[in-house]
Amino acid sequence: MSLDPVLSRIDADLPAALDRLFDLLRIPSISTDPEYKAACDAAADWLVADLASFGIEASKRPTPGHPMVVGHVKGDGPHVLFYGHYDVQPVDPLELWDRDPFDPAIEETAKGKVIRGRGSSDDKGQLMSFVEACRAWQAVNGALPCSITFFFEGEEESGSPSLIPFLKENAGELKADVALICDTGLFESRVPSIMTQLRGLCGEEITLTGPNKDLHSGMFGGLAINPARVLAKILGNLHDDQGRVQVPHFYDGVPDLPEDIAAQWQALGFDHETFLGDVGLSVPAGEQDRTPLEMIWSRPTAEINGITGGYTGKGFKTVLPSKASAKVSFRLVGQQDPHAIRKNFRDWVRAQLPADVTADFHEHGASPASQMETTHPAFEAARSVLGAEWGHEAAFTGCGGSIPVAGYFKTILGMDTMLIGWAKDDDQIHSPNEKYDLESFHKGIRSWARVLDVISR
């Protein structure tokens, strides 16, 4: 099978590909709002019909929530699973949109042409970039270059409650040699990247209780213990002066960054001053012996997400609060165990409590980090061809956030995932006026054609 005719077909078919994408974007598949249940069903039906239109055997699979779409095609070479999600975020506040979120259009901007509409980047435009690459392969060669399972979810934007049970019940059908996910972006909107490290997450809410009611600070201040003061001291002890987390055994399972990956990251020329300057900051505040990219991609964190206690309304009230609370999140890497982190954090807090103060805890999720084995030949093969499309050598990168499905593919299906996406930093996903660059869609289709070509050899 030859690649060049496929790329030519993609170029010629771009207007029709945009028409198909716009049809999907017009479906308001907001998964978190029950009022849009029928729209989510319609989006799943549309995808089944679209896959069938170029020979993919596909079906809509029911779940307790929104349906999954699964399609299969057999070919020579390896077997890959491609995952995307057809659901989108709510559009509120609607008044901040410049046009109807579900009336997509091509717009001219100072940076070039963009596709405007909810889901254009997250994730319908990205999902369809892979589908269109497969359509072109099929049209030119009469077959796809390898075996492919298409797996589209309808609940990613609402916590994926049906995902784990579905993966477990259908593991034999879904397991492949490697998984592909197109729900990420270009590094600094220009360099193609394959994300190989995703941080995990552990969330904790702590409430300290002192007196059995709020007290007058004049009558009790100085004599009675103040849980807000105790909480502030504990939270202040969470990091040392060098930015290291002080919870015992916190760094158990944290790996050193491999030298080859460190070299790739260094070559990216990350400008942390601009990165921080864009949000009104200037100085990296993490572990002082680490580079800025390490801080956000490959090192664990402990962050205070919110603090409450006492009177927080308008004006002033001289109260000594009965309770004080904080929400703390831990981003995890390597083999850190989120459940061990939770236990150690609670033990560490309790060890610092003075007399008359008690602590209650409420957990908010726990998921381990995901580390992809880049020794799988598909990883280096894919990295080697992306530069030809984008003009910059591709890199294996990390991600400061969490994409749980990649971890589930590893733990439930036993396969690694290549996370490759074409989104740009200014796509405004989850926000009003979401967009996807026309270049991202066009070059994204061509890039997937290149990846399918090289990994099927």
Tell me which residue of 62, 82, 85, 59 sits closest to 70, measured CA to CA: 59
Tell me which residue of 289, 258, 451 sits closest to 371, measured CA to CA: 258
Strands (E) located in 63-117: 68-73, 79-85, 105-109, 112-116
Spatial separation of the C-alpha atoms in residues 66 and 31, rounded to whole Å:
7
Tell me which residue of 326, 331, 323, 345 sits closest to 286, measured CA to CA: 331
Burial 14-26 (b: 16+ CB within 10 A, else e): beebbebbbebbb
Domains of the chain and CATH, by start: 4-198+371-455 (3.40.630.10), 200-254+300-367 (3.30.70.360)
pLDDT at 371: 87
The pTM score is 0.87
pLDDT at 66: 98
pLDDT at 2: 86
Q: Are 411 and 371 in contact (CB under 8 A)?
A: no
Residues present in the chain in total: 457
pLDDT at 276: 95
Mean pLDDT by 10 residues, the chain (457 residues): 94 98 98 98 98 97 98 94 98 97 98 98 98 98 96 96 97 97 95 94 97 97 97 98 98 95 93 93 96 96 97 95 98 96 98 98 92 90 96 93 88 95 96 98 98 95
Spatial separation of the C-alpha atoms in residues 415 and 380, rounded to whole Å:
16
Q: Hey, CA dihedral for 220, 221, 222, 224, is it positive or negative? A: positive
Structure tokens at 454: 């090289």
Distance set, CA 360 to CA 245, 324, 354 (Å): 21, 11, 14
| CA geometry: angle 331, 288, 269, nearest 5 deg | 85
